[in-house]
Amino acid sequence: MSSNAFDARLPAGAESMTTNSPAFDQAEWRLGAACRGMDADVFYPPENERGHARSILVAKARKICEQCPVLTECRAYALAVDERHGVWGGLSETDRRKRRTYVTPTSD
């Protein structure tokens, strides 16, 4: 398999991917992923890509995710590990950032 295949390999610019974590190694759901064996670049638009051009790339990745039998598991994983790069479970970095909950400290 090539080093570009999306098989839990770290693509350029995605340093936050937690491929060394035990949870990632135990994520057997990845075996059934529609993206397994695909070029990771499909799911990781270039950092300098913005606006409409980036939206087109993200939409292509989402189309693959829509048909994936493990979409729910992939999405849950990306949210649980706070994945900051790429399209996971049909969610872009921006989508996941919007779903994060922040706790505001209270003054007691």
- The annotation status of 96 as a binding-site residue, yes or no, is no
- The annotation status of 65 as a binding-site residue, yes or no, is yes
| DSSP class per residue in 63-93 | HHHHT-TTHHHHHHHHHHTT--SS-BTTB-H
Please give the angle made by the CA atoms of 7, 39 and 96, to the nearest 5 degrees.
Answer: 75
- The annotation status of 68 as a binding-site residue, yes or no, is yes
The annotated binding site for [4Fe-4S] cluster is made up of 35, 65, 68, 74
Binding-site residues, please? 35, 65, 68, 74
